[in-house]
Every structure is written in structure tokens, then in C-alpha cells.
């Protein structure tokens, strides 16, 4: 090897080594004091060992700006390819300048072109600003940059899964781009998301508020619903991202990955019937049922702290991933609300994008009544669910466990006209436009008033009505779309066998068009 070549190779190694120090060891140490990992440590914990290959590593190195404040590249998770970018707060605070933004933009583009998931690790205050007296625009006005990142995010939506982890105090561009992604992770104590931070809020509104109160992980997981996951640490965050991806295909052109299942799918489970009381007024925890139905009790819940009257998440049936939507009787009796409608519709559309079959477990008294819900727009938000149900083409099975009244039949896909593939009922199901009590109060008001003991007569009528009309046997004899009444203990088996039938289902949109106009 010639001496000049050796010298250049040596220089390359030195430059690369210097780049790995990022913004300096002192700044990295300050990150560690906050409980945060360095940018390369984050990537190492997220990806399979030794799989990361960096792109654009030398950008900005001769200006003392390693990678221009963002690390981009490729790697694998459980052997499957992903594209990754990770912002580095030790370089200009992780702020997004023109080249920084271009690297992010190109990473999203590549993920879409290569049909692999995108993961963004965000730790940035947003766009880079210009101080008085400085020359040139440090911000980003380029066509493919931070200010335009929303375009590839939108184009990639529905083509590849997009996941964001918020690992610092993020604002502006650094929150709107994640908001366009499919899932957002936040870490307790270090993650913040807001359009304008506390100082601007104080300056403009005169409101004193902390970063945690304004946009911390707890706020966005419980109140705003912006965050899908609230994690205890960065390591937990990366492990959960890996787990989430185990349920998802690489792109909309693939099917979800199948995990070999060696158990006996024909085995029934008598404990399932013990979970749900026959009395519709008694509560129970729907999570207990879900864990009895899915493989090995493994269920990954999405938005677990938000709109808890609705449960959504991923599980497997006989090794095949499924999306599960279920009412939670422990919260608001499982009634449908403004927030739960948004939660359900969003999850429905994601599963439909990525070929993930759906199971809906129904036990709801219908939509939550009252002026608060009406004024918050329950009509508009409930319509999102109907739109998502009617637009979805993936296999879909509904199991009516207990209550299915009125609008609940619509919002949970029970009504046959919404293109649900199979509807099963448990013997404990109560169905109808209204519950037995409401129906009796509506139809038999005069008879009850004239009775010697109105309260006793009302209870008698309720029992008679429930026995004759509000049960699945009455429905089954008159409804050809009701596939079967099944025993609780055979539910898992029937789901698995029915999805086997539906595995090759194809249903294309009937009317080609640019796109519909979902009631946002």
C-alpha cells in the first residue's frame, strides 16, 4: 500500500474516532446526569448488536458539528431491516438546521423506497434559530429539510410503520413530525412535547407552568392522548419498540410476521366463562379475558392510560398477529366516548393499513349520554369510527360478550351492514336498540303506573323482556348475519379457525377515488 493511501486511511480513522465523541465528553456526561443515554448508546440498545451502518457520518466534521447533530442509518431488529435517525443534543442542542433536516428527510424517503419501518429518536428543541449579528440562515428553508419533513412522513403513512421516541424536551418540528407517525413513545422524567415551551407560555399568556405540567409524558399519555406509550426508562422504551415491531409487517406490501405456535389450538378454556358476570350491572376487567384468548397471555396495549373505557392493542392467535379492540366495563361501564372513538378509529385504520386482522370484543351500553359529550362533538368523533369500520378491508370478527345496545352495535361493528366478516354471540349477550330497563320504561309506562306495586311490576316486566327479546337466541332465529352463539370456553378456538378461513380474504374498494373525506 502506498504511503499516501496509508496516510489517508489513517486520517479517515482519526476523523471517525473524533466524530464518535460527538459534541464532547463533557456534554455527553451532562446528558448522563439527566438519566439520558448518548446518541450511539441509544441506537445500540435499539438495534441488533453490530447491525447499525451509519449514513452521512462525515457531514459537518470539519466545522466541529459531527453529523450536523443527527445520526442516520440502517440496522436490524430481530433480523429485520429498519431505517433510523437519532438527534444528538450535544451538537447545537440537537436543533434542526438545513443539513440536519435533509438527513432526516432522506431517511424517511429511504424507508419508504426500501419498504422498511422508520424509527426516529427525537431530542431537539426544533428549528435552529439565528441570533442578531450572525450571518447566513442557520435555519432550514431547503426543499428537502426539517421544515419539509412532514411531506415524506405523510407520503410514507400507510406504506411503512413510522415510530417516534421522544427522548428530550422537544418542540415545533420535533413534535409535529412524530405526530404524523403511527406511534409515539415517551419516557417519564426526560420526555416533553409542546408547540411552545413554558417560557413562551409565561411571556404570552402570563401562565406559570412546568415542563412536566405542560407537556410531560404523563400528560400526553393520560390527558391529551398524544403518546401511545409512557415508559419508565430509555431501555424500557427501546425494548418495547422492538416488541411492537414483532407484531408488524415491514410495509403494507407484506403480511405481519408469524411466530411458530406449538400449543394445542383445539383446547378449550373453562375459566373464560368465569370472568364475565351474567348480570350486566356488574363490572369486570376485560384485560383478564384478553389474556385468556391470546397466545401465552401476551398482549401489547396501545394508549393504555388514555380513554381507558376502550382497550386497543396487539396479540397473537395461533402465532398470527391480530389487533384487538375491546370495551372496558370497569371504566364508564365501557360506554363509547369522544376520546375512545378517536382511539378506536386510529387503531382500526392502522391495522387496516398493515394487513392486521381485527377482533372486537363487545360489552357496551352504547354512547355516553350527556351535554359534555354532545358539546365535545360525539357525533363527529363517533362518525370517525363508522368511517374506519366501513373503509377497512382486513378480516374482522366481532364477539358480543354481554351488552350491545343501540349505537354500541354500530360503534363496535356488530351491525352486519358495516362489512364485519363474522359476528359471534355468547349466551350471556343482551342485544337491542335499548337495554331491557330502558325498553320497559319506554313501552310499558302506563302499565307500570296502574300496577298495585309499580316497582315490583317494573322488575317483572324487565325480566320478561330480557328473557324474551334481549338475548341472543331471539336474535339468532331472526338474523341470518349472526353466525353463531358460541360457548365462552371455545372462543379462542373459534377465532383461530375463523381467521384461517379469512386469511386469503380480498376486498378491494368498490369505488376508485382520490381519497375519502373522513370527518376529522
CATH classification at residue 155 = 3.90.226.10
* Same domain as 183, residue 278: no
**Least confident among 143-147, 301-305, 320-324:** 143-147
Domain count of the chain?
3
From residue 432, give the alpha-carbon distance in Å to each of 34, 439, 471: 56, 9, 8
State pLDDT tens for residues 184-238.
999 999 999 998 888 888 888 888 899 998 999 999 999 999 999 999 999 999 9
* Same domain as 395, residue 307: yes
Of 466, 483, 327, 502, residue with least CA distance to 401: 327
What pLDDT, on a 0 to 100 scale, did the predictor assign at position 468?
A: 66
Of 192, 188, 142, 202, residue with least CA distance to 172: 192
Residue 261 placed within a domain: no
Grid coordinates belonging to 181: 407517525
Percentage of the chain exceeding pLDDT 90: 61
**Long-range own/partner contacts, residues 13-22 (CB < 8 A, 24 or more apart):** 15/58, 15/61, 16/57, 18/61, 18/66, 19/57, 19/58, 19/61, 19/66, 19/67, 21/66, 22/66, 22/67, 22/88, 22/90, 22/91
Binned at pLDDT 50, 70 and 90, residue 139 comes out as very low
Percentage of the chain exceeding pLDDT 70: 94
What pLDDT, on a 0 to 100 scale, did the predictor assign at position 141?
A: 58
Mean of all residue pLDDT scores within the chain: 89
Residue 509 placed within a domain: no
Domain boundary pick from 453, 469, 485:
469
Which of residues 147 and 484 earns the better pLDDT score? 484
* Same domain as 455, residue 318: no
d(CA 340, CA 333): 13
What is the pLDDT averaged over residues 399-407? 90
Per-residue pLDDT for 479 more than 80?
no
Its domain, for residue 116, covers 3-245
* Same domain as 290, residue 202: no
d(CA 227, CA 163): 11
Per-residue pLDDT for 137 more than 60?
no
* Same domain as 440, residue 334: no
* Same domain as 31, residue 76: yes
* Same domain as 236, residue 209: yes
**Number of neighbouring beta carbons within 10 Å of residue 206:** 7
d(CA 329, CA 434): 17
**Number of neighbouring beta carbons within 10 Å of residue 457:** 17
* Same domain as 415, residue 307: yes
DSSP 333-390: GG-B-HHHHHHHHHHHHHHHHTT--EEEEEEE--BPPSHHHHHTTHHHHHHHHHHHHH
Residue 201 placed within a domain: yes
Of 362, 222, 215, residue with least CA distance to 280: 362
Which of residues 471 and 387 earns the better pLDDT score? 387
Per-residue pLDDT for 23 more than 70?
no
State pLDDT tens for residues 338-396.
999 999 999 999 999 999 999 999 999 999 889 999 999 999 999 999 999 999 999 99
* Same domain as 495, residue 419: yes
Residue 289 placed within a domain: yes
Residue 54 placed within a domain: yes
Per-residue pLDDT for 9 more than 60?
yes
Sequence-distant (6+) residues with CB within 8 A of 196 are 171, 204
Residue 443 placed within a domain: yes
DSSP 474-495: HHHTT-TT--EE--GGGHHHHH
Sequence-distant (6+) residues with CB within 8 A of 512 are none
What is the pLDDT averaged over residues 8-16? 85
* Same domain as 53, residue 174: yes
Per-residue pLDDT for 454 more than 90?
no
As beta bridge partners, residue 73 has 54, 84
**Long-range own/partner contacts, residues 509-512 (CB < 8 A, 24 or more apart):** 509/391, 509/393
Grid coordinates belonging to 514: 382520490
* Same domain as 215, residue 309: no
Residue 258 placed within a domain: no
State pLDDT tens for residues 299-313.
999 999 999 999 999
Which of residues 33 and 246 earns the better pLDDT score? 246
* Same domain as 465, residue 419: no
Residue 510 placed within a domain: no
Contact 189, 230 (CB under 8 A): no
d(CA 397, CA 501): 12
d(CA 122, CA 407): 40
What is the pLDDT averaged over residues 147-173? 93
What pLDDT, on a 0 to 100 scale, did the predictor assign at position 203?
A: 82
Amino acid at each position: 500500500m502506498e504511503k499516501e493511501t496509508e496516510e489517508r486511511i489513517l486520517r479517515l480513522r482519526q476523523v471517525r474516532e473524533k466524530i464518535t465523541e460527538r459534541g464532547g465528553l463533557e456534554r455527553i456526561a451532562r446528558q448522563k446526569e439527566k438519566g439520558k443515554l448518548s446518541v450511539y448508546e441509544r441506537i445500540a440498545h435499539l438495534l441488533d448488536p453490530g447491525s447499525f451502518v451509519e449514513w452521512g457520518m462525515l457531514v459537518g466534521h470539519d466545522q466541529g458539528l459531527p453529523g450536523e447533530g443527527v445520526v442516520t442509518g440502517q440496522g436490524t431488529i430481530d433480523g429485520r431491516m429498519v431505517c433510523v435517525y437519532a438527534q444528538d443534543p450535544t451538537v447545537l442542542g440537537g436543533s434542526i438546521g438545513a443539513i440536519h433536516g435533509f438527513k432526516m428527510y432522506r431517511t424517511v424517503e429511504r424507508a419508504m423506497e426500501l419498504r422498511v419501518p422508520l424509527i426516529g429518536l427525537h431530542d431537539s428543541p426544533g428549528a435552529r434559530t439565528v441570533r442578531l449579528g450572525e450571518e447566513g440562515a442557520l435555519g432550514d428553508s431547503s426543499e428537502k429539510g426539517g421544515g419539509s419533513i412532514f411531506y415524506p412522513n405523510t407520503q410514507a403513512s400507510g406504506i411503512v410503520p413510522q415510530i417516534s421516541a421522544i427522548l428530550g424536551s422537544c418542540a415545533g418540528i420535533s413534535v409535529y413530525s412524530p405526530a404524523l407517525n403511527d406511534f409515539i413513545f415517551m419516557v417519564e422524567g426526560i420526555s416533553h412535547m409542546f408547540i411552545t415551551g413554558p417560557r413562551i407560555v409565561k411571556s404570552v399568556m402570563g401562565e406559570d407552568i412546568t415542563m412536566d405540567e405542560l407537556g410531560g409524558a404523563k400528560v400526553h399519555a393520560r390527558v391529551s392522548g398524544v403518546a401511545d406509550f409512557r415508559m419508565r426508562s430509555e431501555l424500557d422504551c427501546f425494548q418495547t419498540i422492538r416488541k411492537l415491531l414483532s407484531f408488524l409487517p415491514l410495509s403494507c406490501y407484506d403480511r405481519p410476521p408469524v411466530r411458530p405456535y406449538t400449543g394445542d389450538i383445539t383446547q378449550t378454556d373453562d375459566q373464560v366463562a368465569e370472568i364475565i358476570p351474567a348480570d350486566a350491572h356488574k363490572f369486570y376487567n376485560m384485560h383478564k379475558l384478553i389474556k385468556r384468548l391470546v397466545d401465552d397471555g401476551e398482549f401489547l396495549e396501545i394508549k393504555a392510560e388514555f380513554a381507558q373505557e376502550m382497550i386497543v392493542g396487539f396479540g397473537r392467535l395461533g402465532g398470527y398477529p391480530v389487533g384487538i379492540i375491546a370495551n372496558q366495563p370497569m371504566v364508564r361501564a365501557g360506554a363509547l366516548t369522544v376520546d375512545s372513538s378517536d382511539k378506536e378509529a386510529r387503531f382500526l385504520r392502522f391495522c387496516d393499513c398493515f394487513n392486521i386482522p381485527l377482533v372486537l370484543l363487545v360489552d357496551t351500553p352504547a354512547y355516553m349520554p350527556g351535554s359534555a359529550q354532545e358539546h365535545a362533538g360525539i357525533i363527529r368523533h363517533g362518525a370517525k369510527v363508522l368511517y374506519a369500520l366501513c373503509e377497512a378491508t382486513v378480516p374482522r370478527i366481532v364477539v358480543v360478550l354481554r351488552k350491545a345496545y343501540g349505537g354500541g352495535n354500530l360503534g363496535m361493528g356488530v351491525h352486519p351492514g358495516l362489512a364485519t366478516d363474522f359476528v359471534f354471540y355468547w349466551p350471556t349477550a343482551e342485544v337491542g336498540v335499548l337495554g331491557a330497563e330502558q325498553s320497559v320504561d319506554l313501552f310499558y309506562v302506563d302499565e307500570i303506573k296502574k300496577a298495585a306495586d309499580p316497582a315490583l311490576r317494573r322488575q317483572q316486566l324487565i325480566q320478561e323482556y330480557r328473557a324474551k327479546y334481549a338475548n341472543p337466541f331471539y336474535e339468532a332465529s331472526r338474523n341470518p348475519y349472526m353466525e353463531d352463539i358460541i360457548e365462552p370456553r371455545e372462543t379462542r378456538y373459534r377465532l383461530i379457525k375463523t381467521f384461517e378461513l379469512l386469511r386469503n380474504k380480498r376486498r378491494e374498494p368498490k369505488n376508485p377515488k382520490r381519497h375519502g373525506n373522513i370527518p376529522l
